[in-house]
Amino acid sequence: MVHFDTDYMAGALPEVIEALVKTNLEMTPGYGSDEYCAKAKDLIRNACGDPSLDVWFLVGGTQTNSTIIDAVLGHHEGVLSAETGHINVHESGAIEATGHKVLTLPSYQGKVSPKDVEDFIKNFYADDTYEHMVAPGMLYISFPSEYGTLYSKDELKELSRICHENGIKLFLDGARLGYGLAASDITLAEIAQLVDVFYIGGTKCGAMFGEAVVAKSGLLNHFLPLIKQHGALLAKGRLLGVQYQALFTDDLYFKATASAITLAMRLKEGFVKMGYKPFIDSPTNQQFFDLPNIVIDKLQSVATFEFWGPRGAESSRVRFVTSWATKSEDIDVLLGAL
Amino acid sequence: MVHFDTDYMAGALPEVIEALVKTNLEMTPGYGSDEYCAKAKDLIRNACGDPSLDVWFLVGGTQTNSTIIDAVLGHHEGVLSAETGHINVHESGAIEATGHKVLTLPSYQGKVSPKDVEDFIKNFYADDTYEHMVAPGMLYISFPSEYGTLYSKDELKELSRICHENGIKLFLDGARLGYGLAASDITLAEIAQLVDVFYIGGTKCGAMFGEAVVAKSGLLNHFLPLIKQHGALLAKGRLLGVQYQALFTDDLYFKATASAITLAMRLKEGFVKMGYKPFIDSPTNQQFFDLPNIVIDKLQSVATFEFWGPRGAESSRVRFVTSWATKSEDIDVLLGAL
Amino acid sequence: MVHFDTDYMAGALPEVIEALVKTNLEMTPGYGSDEYCAKAKDLIRNACGDPSLDVWFLVGGTQTNSTIIDAVLGHHEGVLSAETGHINVHESGAIEATGHKVLTLPSYQGKVSPKDVEDFIKNFYADDTYEHMVAPGMLYISFPSEYGTLYSKDELKELSRICHENGIKLFLDGARLGYGLAASDITLAEIAQLVDVFYIGGTKCGAMFGEAVVAKSGLLNHFLPLIKQHGALLAKGRLLGVQYQALFTDDLYFKATASAITLAMRLKEGFVKMGYKPFIDSPTNQQFFDLPNIVIDKLQSVATFEFWGPRGAESSRVRFVTSWATKSEDIDVLLGAL
Amino acid sequence: MVHFDTDYMAGALPEVIEALVKTNLEMTPGYGSDEYCAKAKDLIRNACGDPSLDVWFLVGGTQTNSTIIDAVLGHHEGVLSAETGHINVHESGAIEATGHKVLTLPSYQGKVSPKDVEDFIKNFYADDTYEHMVAPGMLYISFPSEYGTLYSKDELKELSRICHENGIKLFLDGARLGYGLAASDITLAEIAQLVDVFYIGGTKCGAMFGEAVVAKSGLLNHFLPLIKQHGALLAKGRLLGVQYQALFTDDLYFKATASAITLAMRLKEGFVKMGYKPFIDSPTNQQFFDLPNIVIDKLQSVATFEFWGPRGAESSRVRFVTSWATKSEDIDVLLGAL
């Protein structure tokens, strides 16, 4: 059986788990004040090409989203997001639990349109009653989006311009950042320059767990107590430093995620050759197809993957996800069954 | 100058302010534990035809909405509302500030459709990932809606059935309830029977201020500390009892709001006769028209009223609101200028 | 029967209710954007001797406390308070409901000691683990305190110095401010200069309801949406403007509260003459005595007042509160029964 | 250099990390829905002697405390805790951030007194103004306490009786539970019977990370969305199942923590033999001594450990912590330097 359900089904890259094993019985101080974290932060700052950036390590995506958003927004502010954004749909109300509204924008295959963002802000302040409404304080985007799509470099620049001209922070959810970078001409350094805060996803991109938050210097004031308050401060913080040190040594993070993109493209081409059309043309590690139920049934005899919505009468929408842990043979098995 | 901006521009009905003056120097215990509140609650229970109902007095609409919703919802639950609902648009994020998401449904001139409600609930529990989403715990409707429209008795019955079959509470925002009752064949007793909790708006319907919450017995457990925690417990609670006693004596509440409806209909007919069509056919005290800017300019020389959206190039949308304080002569002045 | 239970048993000063009656049928825009509020704010700024101050009107004390504290504190900060402070004891957790911890200091008859405040801050930052603790972001004091006591001018200056040297805001709860000013050599202008934000209590000091918040310019950014979010924005905001305009015309506020102090002193002297000693030597309108139960029983035949703690075997602690509504004859009746 | 700073300095027990390595490349579904979690939950229910218990896995202590407390308390309720309780002191306000007050009781070397708990509840409901105060909804205790002390079986039974007679939930923070069990005659099954909810700490007791929550059936309704909302749901949930399966196989959890207690007792005896008296007589893995500064300086040349408060003029308070990772030779080194 091969697995394409999602990209957090396996443990960690061999280099990552080896680093954890190797350092396992060392004794270091807690909460990220150790040398491994310091080293890993330097590697990340270096990869981002900006030694002034602040770097923090958290454990998972939802806690990272809610801690960052809560830290940046004023009490009267909410966060703009595509209506399909993870924070709006799949975090059990974590943002609202911190007291902030998610202000939704139309989703274009998971992305927001720069024009919609600019119009929202303009219309907001043009409304006489705007003080009775929740002010937009931040724009949340995901890269790749929940539908596998990517903003172009021009789109990112445009979003950055709109946010900064209007005094709004731009936050990029990088839970799958490695896969996005591998499928795009945008570099890590460019993202670090264009957005105010983002994170380099570890959980889905080769780490056992962990998310590395990167922020413009001084944006996340008093962030350590806020991480603690949100229950997101790992006692054995060095586990995160050890992992990110491994990931950012010899470009491991980039190579591992690039492999997943190569395999995702092979998978897509295999389906397209057989005449199946993706209903979203995703350049990243999530691939979406409408398939006849009879084909789905056959594939399920060799592979697991997710339905994207309810099973239809004749055909259904399904999603295949590759990851750093996907092997070339896994694609063979899937396409073979096709 | 005559005023149609909104229904909270004047103070209180003469009978209400006389009652406040008459009792002004009396000394009573605080927080609603006085005899005036006890008497007013009995009058309200009587008007609702159900002596088992719980009644509470709060000061304003936003605090009443957020206190009720927070009291009823579990931590994992959100509240369903039309996307135009007051709680979603015009309360500066008060619901989210208590930790709960507003789950939006399409708005049909301010109303939700029973089918949409039922579909939302069904689809929610059909989704494999529903535990990562915010569960619908309550349906919020406004009567009249923010667009002046009313649910029919059948619609209310249907919403009540759907909510109760699915274990969801039904909450009716009655900030303008008096105007809604005066324009509908639904009685206060029927509303009290069909919904789990609602309030009888005072601020907009003849009181100086105040909202009377009516709930099924036992629904709002520990509600007094919650009112206090939300900053909504008036120290001189008897001010609310005195006012509601006046409002529910000799049908004052119903007569005063009926007068506003009569005048609103005269206003509407006046415009219609002149060939202007309401863009929402509201049966209540809010009337909405598309008017040529030249007409608007003329009307503004004798009356104040609100634009409903931005001023257009040729014509614009405007709203006229009558209230218990509107006089027949005010309508004469307005229609005269037309 | 005469009443000494508390200072919010009666309605409003005759001048205040007359002003409400006189303006009752006027029509003004909502939410405090009217001329009465503008005029009242000017009168207050003038009385404070500082035209740069920001003034806002809210309805009651608990909502004012929680809205101000939430507006000023960062997410990682808490508010220092005497353990007897109203926000710590009698607001049903309103401060915590906004996400902030109340950091308690010892209470000396309702007051904090400047040394304790300074030590708390010093010890806090000397602790290696301070980032795992709640940082003090504000000091809350009440004037008069919940025990009727007052800070001296020197104490206030010292608290102001400590707070400002340590980057902490000083907030003065003035729910009974009028009574405090009448019993002290401190002026309103001095308070306005020494603290960052305070309020001029109306509910207990002659208004029907209302609290006037006074803040250093720019401290309470985006305060209108926050008032709205906290459910504390009165729709008919002019009711507050009308009342404060009356209170700050011809020194009404100061004369009315001074009368309560004169009567409280007569009351205290009456008890002292009869050999009863106050267990707190309060200079304001709350008076505290240990009395034999037999005396209490006799007094209760002519007057109402509160026990301060449980009834004892032989004697009990009781509190007598005067207000602007107390008449000289009321004191006669009470002392007569003694 | 040997390390006694705290018990979360090393990684994981060899058996635990081996299990993680062995299962590393397996692919399992997320969020704890895998077979490893199911198996581990069964092992824990078995060890607790009650198949009806609910078991959940979270990542760290602070998030576990705040998620449980928020899940159990009503909006109007707070949690009773010793003033030294971790939730009151060292979680950056995580409990208040969920809207709940920590109601403090005197601490007796880290423990609450049953009498104080009972008196608090009795006095609370005897107070006329209790509805303006935060109701006690839960008692939080830690076992061992933050000072290494343990409740006796009789004390636990008494606390259980008091809580349940008064309708209050009893929650035991077991971040160091293994060390407590190893030093006590109380069994895991007895704890599971006496308290409503507790957790079996992994992070400090041999796991790489993780806390296993054990609750009476049905207490933690809708707990999965709440874990998610609190950012405490590990995507690769099986990492927790794999670890707890290892810990609860062949009594690994109990043996590893027992070793720490044996070494802690050797450490204590070594100091006592040299004439130093513990200032708290802790039976568990935290040992507290007043030592002359000259001795401390000498020890610091071979070992790291924490000051417990500020360094004194002549002598200071220090804490030595053993763990599953402490070796017998480490004690030799420390005592040798003594």
- β-sheet bridge partners, residue B138: B79, B169
Q: Which chain A positions have a beta carbon within 8 Å of D29's beta carbon?
A: 5, 9
Tens of pLDDT, residue by residue over B4-39, are 999 999 999 999 999 999 999 999 999 999 999 999
**Count of domains forming chain C:** 2
Residue B156 C-alpha from the chain's centroid: 15
Determine the 3-state secondary structure of D84 from DSSP.
coil
Number of Cβ within a 10 Å radius of residue C275: 6
From the candidates C66, C69, C100, C131, which should be mutated to test the interface with A, based on the most A CB atoms within 10 A? C131
* Dihedral sign (CA C140, C142, C143, C147): negative
**pLDDT higher than threshold 90 for residue C5:** yes
Instruction: Please answer yes or no on whether D234 and A61 come within 8 Å at the CB atom.
Output: no
CB-CB contact of B244 with B57 (8 Å): yes
* Dihedral sign (CA C140, C142, C145, C146): negative
Tens of pLDDT, residue by residue over A156-166, are 999 999 999 99
**pLDDT higher than threshold 90 for residue C131:** yes
From the candidates B9, B89, B239, which should be mutated to test the interface with C, based on the most C CB atoms within 10 A? B9
Which residue from A minimizes the CA distance to B133?
A92
First CA to last CA across chain D, in angstroms? 14
Write down the pLDDT at residue A186: 98
Instruction: Report, in this order, helix, strand and coil percent for chain A, each rounded to 5.
Output: 40, 20, 40
| CB-based contact, A74 to chain C, within 8 Å | yes
Determine the 3-state secondary structure of A201 from DSSP.
strand
What is the rounded distance in angstroms from the CA atom of residue C20 to the CA atom of residue B21? 10
CB-CB contact of B71 with B98 (8 Å): no
The type of residue at D155 is E
> Residue A107 contacts by C-beta under 8 Å, 6 or more apart in sequence?
A82, A83, A84, A85
Q: Can you tell me the ipTM of this complex?
A: 0.97
What is the rounded distance in angstroms from the CA atom of residue C129 to the CA atom of residue D252? 32
- The CATH code of the domain that includes A290 is 3.90.1150.10
Domain termination site, one of A194, A225, A250:
A250
What is the rounded distance in angstroms from the CA atom of residue C285 to the CA atom of residue B245? 32
| CB-based contact, D78 to chain C, within 8 Å | yes
What is the rounded distance in angstroms from the CA atom of residue B224 to the CA atom of residue D42? 43
CB-CB contact of C239 with C230 (8 Å): no
| CB-based contact, A277 to chain C, within 8 Å | no
What is the rounded distance in angstroms from the CA atom of residue B91 to the CA atom of residue B80? 15
> Which backbone phi and psi does D230 adopt, to 5 degrees?
-85, 5
Q: Residues B329, B201: one domain?
A: no
Which residue from B minimizes the CA distance to D131?
B225
Q: Which chain C positions have a beta carbon within 8 Å of D76's beta carbon?
A: 92-93
Tokens 């609450």 locate to: D112
Q: Which chains touch B (3 or more CB pairs under 8 A)?
A: A, C, D
Write down the pLDDT at residue D308: 93
Write down the pLDDT at residue C320: 98
Q: Which chain D positions have a beta carbon within 8 Å of B71's beta carbon?
A: 75
Q: Residues D81, D116: one domain?
A: yes
Instruction: Please answer yes or no on whether C231 and B24 come within 8 Å at the CB atom.
Output: no
What is the rounded distance in angstroms from the CA atom of residue C269 to the CA atom of residue A249? 82
Write down the pLDDT at residue C270: 97
The DSSP code for C274 is T
Mean pLDDT of C256-266: 98
The ranges of chain B with pLDDT < 70 are: none
Tens of pLDDT, residue by residue over B302-336, are 999 999 989 999 999 999 999 999 999 999 999 99
What is the rounded distance in angstroms from the CA atom of residue B310 to the CA atom of residue A259? 52
Instruction: Please answer yes or no on whether B94 and C229 come within 8 Å at the CB atom.
Output: yes
**pLDDT higher than threshold 90 for residue C215:** yes
Number of Cβ within a 10 Å radius of residue A255: 14
Write down the pLDDT at residue D105: 98
Tens of pLDDT, residue by residue over A124-167, are 999 999 999 999 999 999 999 999 999 999 999 999 999 999 99
Number of Cβ within a 10 Å radius of residue B131: 19
**pLDDT higher than threshold 90 for residue A338:** no
| Helix extents (H) in chain A | 14-22, 35-48, 61-72, 86-89, 94-97, 114-126, 153-165, 177-182, 188-194, 223-229, 238-247, 252-273, 293-299, 328-337
What is the rounded distance in angstroms from the CA atom of residue D243 to the CA atom of residue A11? 13
Least confident of A265-269, C65-69, C126-130, C232-236: C126-130
Q: Residues D231, D270: one domain?
A: no
What is the rounded distance in angstroms from the CA atom of residue C5 to the CA atom of residue B244? 25
On average, the pLDDT of chain C sits at 97
CB-CB contact of A246 with A94 (8 Å): no
Q: Which chain D positions have a beta carbon within 8 Å of A203's beta carbon?
A: 235-236
To the nearest whole percent, how much of chain C has pLDDT over 70?
Answer: 100
Q: Residues C226, C263: one domain?
A: no
* Dihedral sign (CA A104, A109, A114, A119): negative
Q: Residues D187, D70: one domain?
A: yes
Write down the pLDDT at residue A166: 98
What is the rounded distance in angstroms from the CA atom of residue B82 to the CA atom of residue B88? 8
Write down the pLDDT at residue C338: 86
- Give the strand pairing for C77-82 and C102-105: parallel
The type of residue at D137 is G
| CB-based contact, B204 to chain A, within 8 Å | no
The C-alpha angle with vertex C108 and arms to C104 and C114, in degrees rounded to 5, equals: 70
Q: Residues B162, B58: one domain?
A: yes
Residues in chain D: 338
Q: Residues B164, B300: one domain?
A: no
CA torsion C180→C181→C183→C186, rounded to 10°? 120
| CB-based contact, B224 to chain D, within 8 Å | yes
Q: Which chain A positions have a beta carbon within 8 Å of D64's beta carbon?
A: 231
From the candidates C5, C101, C120, C131, which should be mutated to test the interface with D, based on the most D CB atoms within 10 A? C101
Tens of pLDDT, residue by residue over D99-145, are 999 999 999 999 999 999 999 999 999 999 999 999 999 999 999 99
Instruction: Please answer yes or no on whether D101 and C90 come within 8 Å at the CB atom.
Output: no
- Read off the pTM: 0.97
Mean pLDDT of D268-294: 96
Instruction: Please answer yes or no on whether B99 and A92 come within 8 Å at the CB atom.
Output: no
| CB-based contact, B63 to chain C, within 8 Å | yes
Instruction: Please answer yes or no on whether A96 and B99 come within 8 Å at the CB atom.
Output: yes
- The CATH code of the domain that includes A207 is 3.40.640.10
Determine the 3-state secondary structure of C261 from DSSP.
helix
What is the rounded distance in angstroms from the CA atom of residue A35 to the CA atom of residue A24? 14
Distance from the Cα of B143 to chain C's closest Cα (Å) equals 19
Structural domain that includes position B50 = 14-251
Distance from the Cα of C275 to chain B's closest Cα (Å) equals 30
Number of Cβ within a 10 Å radius of residue A266: 16
> Residue A17 contacts by C-beta under 8 Å, 6 or more apart in sequence?
A11, A208, D20, D21, D24
The type of residue at C164 is H
Number of Cβ within a 10 Å radius of residue A22: 12
| CB-based contact, A222 to chain B, within 8 Å | no
To the nearest whole percent, how much of chain A has pLDDT over 70?
Answer: 100
What is the rounded distance in angstroms from the CA atom of residue C29 to the CA atom of residue C35? 9
Instruction: Please answer yes or no on whether C96 and D99 come within 8 Å at the CB atom.
Output: yes
Write down the pLDDT at residue D338: 86
| CB-based contact, C221 to chain D, within 8 Å | no
- β-sheet bridge partners, residue B54: B215
The C-alpha angle with vertex B33 and arms to B30 and B35, in degrees rounded to 5, equals: 110
Mean pLDDT of D2-28: 98
Nearest to C322 by CA among C312, C309, C332: C332
Q: Residues A310, A211: one domain?
A: no
To the nearest whole percent, how much of chain A has pLDDT over 90?
Answer: 99
* Dihedral sign (CA A97, A102, A107, A109): negative
Instruction: Please answer yes or no on whether B75 and D135 come within 8 Å at the CB atom.
Output: no
From the candidates A70, A75, A233, which should be mutated to test the interface with C, based on the most C CB atoms within 10 A? A75
| CB-based contact, D75 to chain B, within 8 Å | yes
The C-alpha angle with vertex A192 and arms to A189 and A193, in degrees rounded to 5, equals: 90
Instruction: Please answer yes or no on whether D228 and B74 come within 8 Å at the CB atom.
Output: no
Q: Residues D226, D282: one domain?
A: no
Which tokens in the block code for residue A138?
A: 């931040």
Nearest to A104 by CA among A91, A122, A86, A128: A86
Number of Cβ within a 10 Å radius of residue D195: 23
Domain termination site, one of D189, D216, D250:
D250
> Residue B305 contacts by C-beta under 8 Å, 6 or more apart in sequence?
B3, B4, B5, B299, B318, B319, B320, B321
What is the rounded distance in angstroms from the CA atom of residue D136 to the CA atom of residue B225? 13
Residue D42 burial class via C-beta count within 10 angstroms: exposed 0-12, middle 13-18, buried 19 and up: middle
Q: Residues D83, D98: one domain?
A: yes
Q: Residues A131, A242: one domain?
A: yes
Domain termination site, one of D220, D250, D280:
D250
| CB-based contact, B100 to chain A, within 8 Å | yes
Q: Residues D245, D259: one domain?
A: no
Which residue from D minimizes the CA distance to A235?
D8
